[in-house]
Amino acid sequence: MSATKLKSINCTQCAAPLSLRGGRYVESINCGYCGAVLDAKHEYSVIKNFVKAKRPYLPLKLGMSGKIKNVEFTIIGVIEFQHSYDHSRWIEYLLFSPTHGYAWLEHDHGHYVFSRRVRDLPDGVMQQYKTTFRARDRKFQVYDFYDATVTFVEGELTWIAEQKDKVHVTEGIAPPWIYTIEKTAKEKEYLFGEYMDYKEIEAIFKPDSALLEPEGVHGAQPYIPHPFVAGLGRAGLFFAPVALLLWLAVVFMGSGQPVFQDRIPADEYLGNQQGATRNFTITNPDRLVELNLYSGLSNAWGWYDIEILQHNEPLFSMSQLISYYHGREGGENWSEGSRSATALFRLPEAGEYSLRVWGEGGTGEYDTTAQRAELDINITEGIIVSRYYLFLLIFFALMVYSRRHFRNRFEKQRWGDDDDD
């Protein structure tokens, strides 16, 4: 129910009924039926006509009322503007409250901005894109400059609109706030606005049909992440440090204790039926044992058969390959493979064990003459692998980063460019 007093007249040109709700500062009534502009101060005489003005889609209608910021406003006028450069169009609804005066509700491709005229001037020069200035105790960033033309009017306005009236607009944003300077041939107005969610507008004015969802990103639209994305980010902020601590704990406690280290000459493990045998002692059979092989091979490969024995009885065997190739090609150095190999295994109980190793190898593409390189063997017990906590840490860190990623993507859409974070 509107708090404004409703009067009505008939259009003095076409006799269509026109409602009057707009208060004493209304200068003109624009007939939506015939396009006549009536002078509110002179017996509603016809001043001019808006010719061939195509009626735009109006999700909200004249006379609709609702509370915005706890103030009851009624829609009394509609004006459509066209961007001079990209020819896009948007609607400005003129709102009236008997207690709080006039305000604007912009509707631009599903986005809504509620703004009011202010007397606060900016404390900086708004001449360059993205430069900052302060107004109404907020820091704004210059967002856009453009010219717009009036293409359609209906209802009551506080001035007499001219078809193709031009206005030069300068906008600064501090989402959800927007500060606008509108300059016409006659005056300059300063407006301070706030972005409003279309669902909120729908709840306020209760239109007959649901409002359309916004398209794209509006300059003053605040970034509100999807609840799931927000949840991922929040949970990631908690779990990433947990995973980091767990990973560090495992790295610290699970790096193990060396139980064997030796360098085996090539003669001992190459072409020797008996292989090279070494003994080692395990004291912690509950955790993994790590075998590390290193050979300084150069453009060669080595294949190592390894047997683990207990009481001179073989427990199990395994094979490890070391292959390392390098060179220079097309002006660039390249290398492939590695000079080391690692194996993790478990031993059944504490005690003495033996390791027996045989080797063979080759160089180049076809030569099967093994390169006579020494083989370093290291055995470490008490190993706890940290890879799962590392994966977890990376995953959680990515979730934290995803918040920033989605925000950056939103900002790029806001600014219409690709070079801003």
Partner 1 sequence: MTKLVFVMFSMLTMGATYLTINDIGVLEPSIENAREGSRHNGMRGVGRGHYGK
Residues forming the site for partner 1 (CB under 8 A): 227-228, 230-232, 234-236, 238-239, 242-243, 246, 250, 287-288, 291, 299, 301, 303, 305-309, 314-321, 323, 325, 334, 336-337, 343-346, 361-362, 364-366, 368, 384-389, 391-392, 395-396
Q: Are 40 and 29 in contact (CB under 8 A)?
A: yes
Closer CB to partner 1, 227 or 263, in the complex = 227
Among 118, 96, 102, 97, smallest CA distance to 178 is for 118
- Least CB distance to partner 1 at residue 337 (A): 7
Closer CB to partner 1, 214 or 362, in the complex = 362
- Least CB distance to partner 1 at residue 313 (A): 8
- Least CB distance to partner 1 at residue 411 (A): 23
- Least CB distance to partner 1 at residue 148 (A): 40
**CB 196: neighbour CB atoms within 10 A?**
20
Closer CB to partner 1, 351 or 416, in the complex = 351
User: Residue 363 and residue 358: Cα distance in Å, rounded?
Assistant: 18
Among 193, 197, 213, 217, smallest CA distance to 95 is for 193
Handedness of CA 140, 144, 147, 153 (dihedral sign): negative
* DSSP element (H, E) containing 411: helix 387-415
What 8-state DSSP symbol labels residue 120?
Answer: P
- Least CB distance to partner 1 at residue 293 (A): 12
Give the start-end residues of each E strand in 109-254.
111-118, 132-135, 138-157, 166-174, 177-183, 188-196
- Least CB distance to partner 1 at residue 255 (A): 14
Amino acid letter, residue 192: F
- Least CB distance to partner 1 at residue 338 (A): 11
- Least CB distance to partner 1 at residue 410 (A): 18
CA 248 to chain centre: 30
Closer CB to partner 1, 211 or 246, in the complex = 246
User: Residue 317 and residue 313: Cα distance in Å, rounded?
Assistant: 11
Closer CB to partner 1, 129 or 388, in the complex = 388
Tokens of 273: 């039926």
Closer CB to partner 1, 34 or 343, in the complex = 343
Burial label, 155 (beta-carbon count in 10 A; 0-12, 13-18, 19+):
buried
Closer CB to partner 1, 8 or 333, in the complex = 333
Closer CB to partner 1, 79 or 293, in the complex = 293
Closer CB to partner 1, 35 or 236, in the complex = 236
User: Residue 204 and residue 385: Cα distance in Å, rounded?
Assistant: 59
Helix 387-415 crosses helix 227-253 at what angle (to 10 degrees)? Answer: 150
Whole-number CA gyration radius for the chain: 39
Residue whose pair of structure tokens reads 């993205």 in the numeric block:
130
- CA atoms within 13 A of residue 18's CA, in its CB half-sphere: 28
Closer CB to partner 1, 29 or 399, in the complex = 399
**DSSP per-residue string spanning 13-59:** TT--EEEE-S-TT--EEE-TTT-EEEETTTTTEEEEE-TT-PPPP-S
- Least CB distance to partner 1 at residue 176 (A): 22
- Least CB distance to partner 1 at residue 420 (A): 28
